Structure formats: structure tokens, C-alpha cells
Amino acid sequence: MATGIRDKVAILGMGCSKFGERWDRNAEDLMVEAFEECMQDAGIERKQIEAAWFGTAIEEQHVGKSGVPLAMTLRLPYIPVTRVENYCATGTEAFRGAVYAVASGAVDIALALGVEKLKDTGYGGLPQRGRGGLNNMYWANISAPGSFAQLAAAYRAKHRVDPKDLKRAMAHISVKSHDNGSLNPKAHLRNKITEDDVMNAPMIADPLGLYDCCGVSDGSACAIVTTPDIARGLGKKELVSVKAVQLAVSNGQEVQFGEWDGSYFATTRVAAGRAYKEAGIADPRKRISMFDVHDCFSVTELVTMEDLGISQEGKAIGDVLDGFYDASGKIPCQIDGGLKCFGHPIGASGLRMIYEMYLQLTGRAGERQRPDPVLGMTHNLGGFPSQNVSAITIVGRHGA
Amino acid sequence: MANDFGILSYGAYLPRRRLQRKSIAAANSWFAPGLRGLAKGERAMANWDEDAVTMAVEAARDCVSGMPPAGLEQLILASTTHPFDDRQNAAIVANALHLGSALRVLDVTGSQRAGTSALISALAGGGKSLVAAAEHRLAKAASPQEMHYGDGAAALLVGSGKPIARLIGSHSETVDFVHQFRSSERAHDYAWEERWIRDEGYLKIVPAALAALFKATGIAPAKVTHFCLPCTLPRVVPGVAKRAGIAEVAVRDNLAAVCGDTGAAHALVMLAHALAQAKPGDLIAVAAFGQGCDALLFEVTDAVATLPPRVGVDGALARRKEETNYLRFLAFNDHIALERGMRAEADKGTPLTTLYRNRDMVTGLVGGRCRNCGTLQFPRGRYCVNPECNALDSQDDQPFSEASAKVMSYTADALTYSADPPAYYGMVEFDAGGRMMADFTDVDEGKVEVGMPMRMMFRIKEHDTARGFVRYFWKAAPSV
């Protein structure tokens, strides 16, 4: 009988490059930047890494396919390197591979690194991508903002929400993330904005305006994981261990069948339920200290807080406007600025979220530091509301 | 011909946008002051995602609505603007209409008479035929043609059954009178002087053809109650009628003011319009001019009163959106070098193998209905999507093209590339079951809402500009 991975794997070290428009850097430079920080933190030598997982989503854009770019760039000593891609949940997928490798006992120390170099397209927003021969023939002409914007239409219809109230709550989410990002030296966007800025910004995909959309960034993040015993043996004292890693992937029910109404993420609800169970958490609103969720768009964050069971269904607007998720609120969300302001280099994002949880749990979050966090939860989503990959990680103090 | 043979049904389609001729004149009269005199009324203007094939599909759907064309032997598609020179355009229409593979298809082209010639051929053949004529006409900026032309389609179902109109006779004259031409290497028509076209062309060739028709059929021209002759030159049609002995009151409106001349389709558009308004016993004469003349004479039967209502020309005219932006018209027709942005550069390829394997799904919008649990689904998978079922290979073909739907979620996307931004799309839920994320078309900005009723329309999904291919798929459009 499977027992899950709670407290079986500890984080030995983490690193994260500065995110942003890194015009002067190749993807390889960003990988090295994250890896160097991570290795210093872990305090090991390169040859101690026994396996690696490499996350990059739009690899045609920068480093190319396979595990080779990681091994070449970091000069890894002929170890197994697996390249993973799972839409925007790629970073968490890389982390999951490394965590499972250690938990299985196959290796002692494993590396997960994600990278994306998005700013080599010549235009704003995510790159245009093929979707597969047949999909190209029938999928609607969707962009990321256009697919997520539909959450708002469906949410309004379902909960009979005044469009202005929803837009105001979405604006609060973005203002909050800019406030948080302004305190993060590695964040892509560090400017503060006002709700009026958000409300009056140019429309990207109705009702998402420019400030409802996250940054499109270059960046890399990485983690080295091992067993708690080995971590202690290497001199680590305050261990951060993995409580849960869960993934739920759409199978067509939302887009083709069933009761899904377009206003929430069916996958996130399933993955969150499994993650709480794996981590032994009965009342997440009381136990989780902080969140980094996949705020690719303001409305995504809003409905996700309901899908994670923190806000009641239809009530997230109230929680958001009450400041429940602000840095000074009961459970801060996106304390590092989130995708919105830290940025969203796709392959790196899931690992970047865990990086912030790790910094907070080890008391190294600088100006953003929260008092005494115990459990941090990340939610990393890829795809579209109607068909997606929802990846959830809970990390926390070892034994908590 | 047997008494039960003739035109069984008609349908028509006109694109929703109507370009105001005063907008054309306002943009071009600095160069061609003469256009000011033509700046009256409006012309049907194809959306960027419409062409002769898509418009033919819509007209044909209207024509066969409520009467599935069982036993159809052939489909003829007439147009001088077929999107493909080598790929049977009629075969695309047949696939979109689920007509099956046991079918004779024919693309007819090369003349403004193509529509009437196709109809004569179908009526002469004796079997059951669907005749569609469609035109997406291009004209040079500031040309009189740009003012006169319109885009549109009509369709007629011909066969045995309860004909609404029987052919009394037809006559064709073939004369290589070149009033205008377009060689295969040119995009636009080249026309000669209108006075010559009128005096030596229409007023001599058409009356001669009509005279032969009336002589052969023994019908007195004065008995004709509807006379359909496409022509945008002033005073020509009454002149022809007079010379032919047809009463002036029988001359039908050529729709110039509200639609424009839809070329090879226009005689059939006018015939469909006449059939919608005709009474039992009426006589309809149809003539089309172009390197000679086709002339047809029909007698309307009692069955015209019991044919279920079609959208027809009047319905299509009522589904109208005024267009005053001449630049949008130029851009839709690729007449200006628009900066379409880097997102338009993405090459999605045209895998013909994939298209062939999935042609019913892509061209016909055919999904599945599970025999095990009844679940409707698009696209169909090998396993049923119902998690309580998941049966393997349990689905029968289920066409969704005629299924009504409602908007479940939507957006107006200004980021993704669209020839007519913002791109509207969203999830639509079919009333009978099944759902899909679909592009929307023919929507009005700010008028889309959750719950809005939609119908599916066959449209251009994308132009593969790298290979010159047209990718078709279905889109959701407001049903009213």
C-alpha cells in the first residue's frame, strides 16, 4: 500500500536566477545562475548528483530537446538526465521526478532544474506554438489569456457576480502581487500599481487587461533533493521536507463532457484533495502558512483559491477584497510576487514557487519574510481551464 | 420529363456584412470621381473566413434543411472563384454536408453563366442533384466592379418528388462575346465599354435566346410573371424584357441595391428569391449572360406553398450588419499589405494525411454518440469520454453541424492573431449534448453573453499562406 512521500525527501538546496527580460543572457547562462546558487546552498560537489530532471516547455525556442542541454551546460558526469514537459506545470514535473527518484531509493541525490528563455520571440506574450497536426485543425484560435479569460465569463454567470465586482477583485490581486514583487530583488516586475491602473489598462482578452496578465520572462530555478538522513549527514539542521506532490491531468471531461461549467479547475480540486491527504492536512485554511499559486492571470488566482478549498465557492471575491491573501493578511498568496511579478519562464515557474516557500521556511526571505511559516503550498498549472495539468506541492518543516 | 421532376427546394446565403457604397466612394473618389454616381446602397461582403466553398455550404444547408437529400446522385458547384484550381471544390462541400462518397461531383466554372449551366445540366440529367453556385468576387480598388459586385450563394435541389417548380424548357446560346474576362494568371476582371456590352451584348444576345426559348416551349412571353436576369448596367433589363415581350412588371429586382451582383451565383440567387415569393402557376424565366446566354423557363407548382420556410434571400438579407470601413474590406480581400504581426507568421503546416484520416471530423464536424451510454462527444475518441462508461469503440457517427448550441464561456481576444480582431471564441454546449471550444464568427463586439444561442457554420479556419492551402472548420455564430 502506497504511503505517499510525506517527509521522505528533503530539500538540500535551491537556486533561482533573476527573472526578467534577460536580453544579455542565453538560457544556458540562466541555468548556471540558478545552479550555482543551488550548489552553494546544498554544499555538495557536482559528482554527488546521481540523476537529473530538466524542465523546459518551449524548447524549440531556446535550448533544444532532450536532457542533453542540461548535461552539456552543467557538465554533469554522464548521469541520467530526463527532460520533462507538461505545459506550464513543467517545473513542478521536474521537481516531482527528482523527488520520486530519491523517495524510491534509486538515488541519494537528485537535481531538478527548469529554464525558459521566452524573450527571444520578438513580441510580447507567450510564443505561438503548434498544437499537433490534428489539434491545429479543430482547436479554437486560443491564446493563454483568451482561454483563462473565459473563467471570468463563466464565474460571473454561475455566481451572478457583477462584472465590475469581479474586475475589482482581480485588480486587487494584481496590486497585491506588485506590492509583493516590489520587495523581491529577483522579481521581473518591481513596480507598484494601483487598482485604477489595472481597471484602465488596455484589454488583452476580455475581461483580462494588461495588468491582469503575468510577466513573460526569462529565468531558471533549481532544486537538489535527498533523503532527510543524508541531508542531516551533510550538516543541514532545519530541514525543509516534501509533504506532497500531486498532479491531476484533464482527460476530456471538462472540454467534452460532464457538469463542469467553465468557472473552476476540476483538476486542481482533485489534485488539492490528494495533496492534503498525502500531507495529512485536514483543514488547510488553518494549517497552510502561505501559498504560491499559478496566477498566470488574476482571475486564475481568484478561482484557484476556491479550488484549493481556502475560500468557499463563490466567496473568493470577498476574501480577496478583505485582504485575506495580502502579505499582511491571514494567508499570504504570491508573497514573492507570483507569476504576475516574479515572472513566468515556463519551465522554471514551478520550481520558483517552491524556491520561495523554501526561503520562507528557512528564514531567508529578506524583506518578505513571514514570521514562523510551517507549511507552504504551491500550485502550478499548465494548459487551459478546459484541459490542463494541475500540479500541487506542499513543503514544510520536517516532521510538521 | 416526368411530372414529378423539377426543383424540389431552394436555399440562399449572403454574407452578413454589407459594405456601404458611399464608403467605397468616399475612399476612392479622389482618384475615380465617377464612383460618386454609384455611391448608393450596399453590397454583400464576405467575412475574412468565407469563400465560394463556405458560402455554397451555407446555401446548400438552407436548401436541404428539413429534407435530407437521400438518394442524391450528384453535387454541382458553380463559381468563377473556386478556392482551388486542382482539388475538387464540390468534394469539400459534399464532405461538409455529409453526402457520402457514392456521389458524382462537378465543379463548373469559366463563365458568368456557370450557375445556370450547372442547373440546366442537373435538370437535363434526370437524377437527384444538388446545384450550388457561389461567388467571392474580387475587384480592383476604385473600379466600378468593386461597387457592383457582391458575394453570395444559392442552391437548388433538383429531382423527383414534389417539385415546387418544373422546367418547361431551356435554351442556350453560345457566342464568344467577351464583355469582360479574367485570365487564370490574373486576380481581377478586365471589362470593355459598357455601352457596347449593353447594345451589342445584352440587348441582342439575351432576347435571341429568350425568343428561342419561348418558341420551343410554345409559351407566350407575356405570361411570364417573374423575369430574372442579372445585370447591373442601367436600363438593360427592362430593355431586354421589352424586346423579348416580357411584361415590365415581371422584371425582378436584381438586388443591386442591397446585395450586388454575385456573378455566376446571381441568376440562381434571383431564382431562389423568386421561388420564395412565387405563387402556384407562376411562370419564372431565368436568363444569364456571359459568352452567350442561358435561358430557362419554369412553372411554379402547388407544392411551393407547402415547402417549409427557407432562410432564402430575404432571410439572408435580414441577417445584416452595416459595414462602413472600406479598409476592412480591402484587408479581408488581401488588397493591402497589412502588418499582421509576428503571431501571423506561425506555420502550422498542412498534413494532408491527418486531414484525410479525420476528414469527417474536420470537414463534417462529425463526432460520436456512445451506443453504450448515449453520451454525445466531439471529437470522438476510441474510448467514450463518460467516466462511468469509457467503452472502447462504442461510438456511432454523430454530426454536430446542425446541432443548436449555447455559449458556456467566451472571450474577446486581442492577443491571438486574427484577421478580424478581437478573436471571439469560447466553449459552446450543444443543446442535445456534447460541447466544444469553438471559434466564433459573425459576432458583434460586446454582444456575446453566456447562454446565447449559437449555430455552427462552415468557415475558413486559416489560410496556409506558405502552401496556398485553405483550412476549413466549423465555427459558432449567433443563431439569430
Residue B204: pLDDT above 70? yes
Residues whose CB falls within 8 Å of the CB of residue B33, separated by 6 or more in sequence, listed in order:
none
- Least confident range from A81-85, B122-126, B135-139: namely B122-126
Which residues are registered as beta bridge partners of B453? B406
CA atoms of B475 and A141, how far apart (whole Å): 11
A24, burial (CB in 10 Å: exposed 0-12, middle 13-18, buried 19+): exposed
pLDDT digits (tens, 9 = 90+) for A34-93: 999 999 999 999 999 999 999 999 877 789 899 999 999 999 999 999 999 999 999 999
Residue of B nearest to A155 (CA): B409
Query: What does DSSP assign to residue B302?
Result: G
Measure CB to CB from residue B427 to each of A150, A202, A206 and give the nearest one. Answer: A150
Three-state helix/strand/coil letters over A321-367: HCCCCCCCCCCCECCCCHHHHCCCCHHHHHHHHHHHHHHHHCCCCHH
CB-based contact, A166 to chain B, within 8 Å: no
Contact A256 B451 (CB under 8 A): no
Which residues are registered as beta bridge partners of B76? B106, B131
Q: How many other CB atoms are found less than 10 A from the CB of residue B286?
A: 26
CA dihedral B171, B173, B178, B183 (to 10 degrees): 70
- Find out whether B153 and B58 touch, Cβ atoms under 8 Å: yes
Residues whose CB falls within 8 Å of the CB of residue A229, separated by 6 or more in sequence, listed in order:
none
* DSSP run (H or E) holding B172: strand B165-174
pLDDT digits (tens, 9 = 90+) for B240-292: 999 999 999 999 999 999 999 999 999 999 999 999 999 999 999 999 999 99
Which of B166, B129, B169 lies closest to B6, judged by CA? B166
CA atoms of A4 and A241, how far apart (whole Å): 13
CB-based contact, B372 to chain A, within 8 Å: no
- What average pLDDT does chain B have? 96
Instruction: For chain A, give the percent of residues with pLDDT over 70.
Output: 100
Residue A344 falls in the annotated catalytic set: yes
- What average pLDDT does chain A have? 96
CB-based contact, B411 to chain A, within 8 Å: yes
The interface predicted TM-score of the complex, written ipTM, equals: 0.93
CB-based contact, B415 to chain A, within 8 Å: yes
- Find out whether B15 and B47 touch, Cβ atoms under 8 Å: yes
pLDDT digits (tens, 9 = 90+) for B292-314: 999 999 999 999 999 999 999 99
User: How many residues are there in chain A?
Assistant: 400
Q: Which amino acid is at A50?
A: E
Give the end-to-end CA distance of chain B in Å, rounded to a whole number.
40
List the domains of chain B with CATH numbers: 5-332 (3.40.47.10), 344-365+400-478 (2.40.50)
* DSSP run (H or E) holding B131: strand B129-135
* Mutant choice from A206, A261, A263 vs B, greatest count of B C-beta within 10 A: A206
Q: Which amino acid is at B26?
A: A
Confidence of residue A324 (pLDDT cuts 50, 70, 90): very high
Catalytic residue, candidates A16, A38, A62, A88? A88
Residue B392: pLDDT above 60? yes
CA atoms of A149 and B413, how far apart (whole Å): 9
List strands edge to edge, sheet with B42-45. Answer: B42-45, B17-20, B321-323
What is the distance in angstroms between the Cα of B63 and the nearest Cα belonging to chain A? 26
Contact A137 B426 (CB under 8 A): no
* Mutant choice from A256, A267, A270 vs B, greatest count of B C-beta within 10 A: A256
Contact B435 A257 (CB under 8 A): yes
> Cell numbers 464568427 label which residue?
B441
Contact A133 B351 (CB under 8 A): yes
pLDDT for B1 equals 53
* Mutant choice from B353, B395, B413 vs A, greatest count of A C-beta within 10 A: B413
Measure CB to CB from residue B408 to each of A141, A154, A251 and give the nearest one. Answer: A154
pLDDT for A259 equals 85
Q: What is the DSSP string of A206-251?
A: TTEEGGGB----EEEEEEEEE-HHHHHHTT--S-EEEEEEEEEE--
CA atoms of A350 and A362, how far apart (whole Å): 19
CA atoms of B314 and A174, how far apart (whole Å): 50
CA atoms of B323 and B307, how far apart (whole Å): 33
Residues of chain B positioned with their CB less than 8 A from the CB of A263: 409
CATH number for the domain running over A10-118+218-233: 3.40.47.10
Q: Which amino acid is at A353?
A: M
Which of B265, B222, B266 lies closest to B246, judged by CA? B222
Residues of chain A positioned with their CB less than 8 A from the CB of B472: none
Measure CB to CB from residue B414 to each of A122, A205, A385 and give the nearest one. Answer: A205
pLDDT for A129 equals 79
Average pLDDT estimate for A337-365: 98
Residues of chain A with CATH 3.40.47.10: 10-118+218-233, 143-210+238-397
Query: What does DSSP assign to residue B197?
Result: I
Average pLDDT estimate for B197-225: 98
What is the distance in angstroms between the Cα of A180 and the nearest Cα belonging to chain B? 27
Contact A138 B361 (CB under 8 A): yes
**CA angle at residue A20 from A16 to A26, to 5 degrees?**
75
* DSSP run (H or E) holding B241: helix B236-244
* DSSP run (H or E) holding B356: helix B352-357
CA atoms of B59 and A5, how far apart (whole Å): 62
CA dihedral B404, B409, B415, B419 (to 10 degrees): 10
CA atoms of A340 and A150, how far apart (whole Å): 19
- Find out whether B80 and B111 touch, Cβ atoms under 8 Å: yes
Residue A370: pLDDT above 70? yes
Q: What are phi and psi of B360, to 5 degrees?
A: -70, -40
Homologous superfamily of A143-210+238-397? Thiolase/Chalcone synthase (3.40.47.10)
Confidence of residue A121 (pLDDT cuts 50, 70, 90): confident
**CA angle at residue B81 from B79 to B83, to 5 degrees?**
110
pLDDT for A124 equals 87
Q: What is the DSSP string of B26-90?
A: HHHTTT-GGGGGG--SEEEE--TT--HHHHHHHHHHHHHTTS--TT--EEEEE-S--S-SSS-HH
Average pLDDT estimate for B447-465: 96
CA atoms of B414 and A249, how far apart (whole Å): 28
